[in-house]
Chain A
Amino acid sequence: MTSTNPILSPAGGADAPSAGLRPSRRSSVRAAQTRRKWYEIVGLTLPAVIVYVMFVLVPMGFAVYYSLFRWRGIGPPTDYVGFDNYVLAFQDPIFLDALRNNAIIVVGSLVVQGPIALAVALLLNRRFRGRAVFRLIVFVPYVLAEVTAGIMWKLLLTDNGTVDALMRSLGLGSLVRAWLADLDIVIWTMLFVLTWKYVGFAIILLLAGLSNVPPELTEAAAIDGASWWQTQRHVMLPLLGPTIRIWMFLSMIGSLQAFEVIWVTSVPAVRSLGASATMATYMVDNGFFARLWGYGNAVAVILFVISFVAALLFQRFLLRRDIDGAVTGRVN
């Protein structure tokens, strides 16, 4: 890789003695450079690699191992059951509810947050007084801690709470529902809170993407007589493609692993009935609260595999042109 000229690089390798003086010195310099380069790579990546191995790969290995046991966290795992825990999970109607809820959150987040974020980002990208303030306001929910936001919405959405009172005063009293108690509604309430919480993130990402669009392009479009709307549709939107796809990717992975907001906003009873459970809350409820450690690990592995496969498929089919050359083939 490093010695490009075969004549200057003797067959015996860098350290082999050679007859010619000049070529030998050259090649040993190159060898030293190569070695230094490797020391640098190892030295600089080792801390990260150690942390990654210890806190990501090793626990993952353990999770797979423990998932094969009927184990309640008392004494070492000894009762090997093969894939029984996985079979049990897919036989539990509550886990299937959790899967369905995750699917609702994945699709719902994309379908609802995407258009809202795009519209708001395009608006906030125009110059007007107080733009910075609006940008800040839009971003506040995302900065708020999940638990804080969750408790806030739990109190607002409670029976005869602020939301109900507001709706009644607006003459929408007939639309008031038991937002957190109606088992058919609660998942949509969760989707609403999640949208409120994370749409700011999508907006900021899109704004960053918009600011990368060179002003020459919009100017050129304007000179060609394009309206503001036409500029957005035919210039901005296509150039936002990579940003939108990255946001979709992050949103999808986040939705699959949704936990904090739902854990806090939705009460344990409603979760245990499957109405608002996600794979992650199901894992904690069963792994820790029901003390089924082996089973909980199996659910963790299922969650990991689903996320991993989703990530791979997304990269393969949608992110391909954005990351061309990095993980896929070289661009020609």
Chain B
Amino acid sequence: MAMKHRAAAGLALFLTTALLVAGCNGGDSEAPAESELYKNPVTLTWWHNASQDGPLKTYWEKVAKDFNALHPTVTIQIESIETNQLQRTRLPAALLSNDPPDIFQAWGGGEMREQVEADYLKDITEQVKTEAADIGSVAEIWQVDGKQYGLPYRMGVEGVWYNKDMFAKAGIAAPPATFDELNDAVTKLKAINVIPIALGAGDKWPAAHWWYNFALRACSVDTLKKASTERVFDDPCFVKAGQDLQTFIATNPFQPNFIATPGQNDPTSANGLLANGKAAMELMGEWNRGTLDTVAEDREALGKFIGWFPVPAISGSAGDPKAALGGGDGFACAKNAPAECVEFLKYLVSPEVQTGYAETGTGLPARKAAGDTVKDPALKSVLDATSGASYVQLWLDTAFGSTVGTAMNNAVVAIFAGKGTPEQVVDAMKAAAKK
């Protein structure tokens, strides 16, 4: 018996030691000095979220090869991981270990703030001044306390995608500019027996985005900024957002049983309803042009009838009517990544690579120079709205971080299900901020 115990103890000790040793050996990649750039062969590991076979995945492979041809000392090892897995499990676990990827997907906002506080990211403020300046104010989303930690390659604001033919048939002269006009349009669309607005509440965030927009209209820019950095939600405008949302839901603008409708990716989704001529409108980000295509039965027809307009204003509210919600995709370098990582990041957002990215049609490029490649009229209006926005507020769930974000989205969904109140949303956010 004693021997058995000793053996077990020995085994446990051995395993623990093995784990410790393995853990300690991972992180010895010291950053070389600037002058040594491209002198020693380095391998950069690159984690991105273009996991499905498609134009973007192929394009990133080409970009990595091109960079290697320009700088033969740098080999790039790509791992493409589905967004949820990447963001929720793989990346946090890799960052916790001593062996994170060198360059990886970064969405900015609250999550990036936490990553910086844990000292995971490389401060690239000095090296990317030119790029950040050209990208403009939206580059701030990848900043924490004035320092740049990442750069976006895709950026766009949210708006309402709509069916121009249905609007004409219903006798709606111009896209609604105020919520009163939107309510009017909803009434007219009901009269021609179509679903006025498709809503993918099943995925939670498409429903929550309505609340975000009401918050954007109800709250001043300063209040929103303070909420993002300090996680303070005391301003009554957050309750007002929920009340406005309740009023809007009461007009029944959505399809029945929207609580179980998925957002995108299959024909039964809200995307499918708009793309296949069953619904007239959908609130969605700029990537929607591509995702509508994937569920459309007739892409040509879709291309002809699809239009876009900004989220309507609410008259007499505190929010800036020219402010918009938006978000994007970017990359950041790990704290201990070699200096070449920053060079590769700069290359990723260079006008040349950005132009190629715009041509993949998977999203709007963050660099202005690359915007000229955008031909689709609907996307063109998103691009104009993005550059014309007085302030771009990052998606609130990303801005507030996953914990507050999830609690907020859940509470908003409860309003949609008729089981929650505007006050409960704010309470849930405050409670989650303490978790």
- Name A residues whose Cβ lies closer than 8 Å to a Cβ of B: 42, 49-50, 53-54, 58, 70, 72-76, 155, 158-159, 161, 178, 180-183, 186, 267-270, 272-273, 285-286, 288-292, 295
| Closest B residue to A273 using CB positions | B417
Hey, which chain A residues are within 8 Å of B247, CB to CB? none
Return chain A residues, CB-CB under 8 Å to B414: 273
- In the assembled complex, which residues on chain B have CB atoms less than 8 Å from the CB atom of A181? 257-261
A178-B260, A269-B260 known; A288+B413 contact, CB < 8 A: no
Are the C-beta atoms of B88 and A289 separated by less than 8 Å?
yes
A50 to B261, alpha carbons, bound, how many Å?
46
List, in ascending order, chain B residues with CB within 8 A of A289's CB. 84, 88, 402, 406
Whole-angstrom distance from the CB of B203 to the nearest CB of chain A? Answer: 6
Pick out which of these stretches binds chain A: B47-55, B114-122, B300-308. B114-122
Evaluate whether A54 and B266 lie within 8 angstroms (CB atoms) in the complex, with A269-B201, A291-B402 already known: no
Closest Cβ of chain A to B199, distance in Å, is 10
Bound together, the chains give a CA A181 to CA B268 distance in angstroms of 13
B268 touches A155 (CB 8 A): yes
Task: Contacts A49-B11, A53-B15, A158-B268 known; list 4 others, CB within 8 Å.
Answer: A53-B11, A72-B114, A269-B416, A273-B410
The interface residues of chain B lying within 8 Å CB-to-CB of A58 are 15
Please tell me which one of the listed residues A73, A267, A286, A291 contacts residue B203 in the complex, with CB atoms under 8 A apart: A267
Residues of A contacting B203 in the complex (Cβ-Cβ under 8 angstroms)? 267-269
B260: which A residues are within 8 A, CB to CB? 158-159, 178, 180-181, 186, 267, 269-270
B432 at the interface (CB under 8 A from A): yes
A287, chain B: closest CB distance, angstroms? 9
Closest to B260 in A: A181
Report the count of interface residues on B (CB-CB < 8 A). Answer: 45
B115 touches A42 (CB 8 A): no
Asked if residues A270 and B15 are in contact (CB atoms below 8 Å), the reply is: no
* Distance A265 CA – B7 CA, assembled complex (angstroms): 47
* A-B contact list, 18 entries, CB within 8 Å: A53-B15, A74-B115, A74-B118, A155-B268, A159-B257, A159-B260, A159-B261, A183-B259, A183-B417, A267-B262, A268-B204, A269-B204, A269-B260, A270-B202, A270-B260, A272-B410, A290-B405, A290-B406
Cα distance, A158 to B266, chains bound together (Å): 12
B12 near A53 with CB under 8 A, answer yes
The closest CB in chain A to the CB of B416 belongs to A269
Cβ–Cβ contact B435 & A292, under 8 A: yes
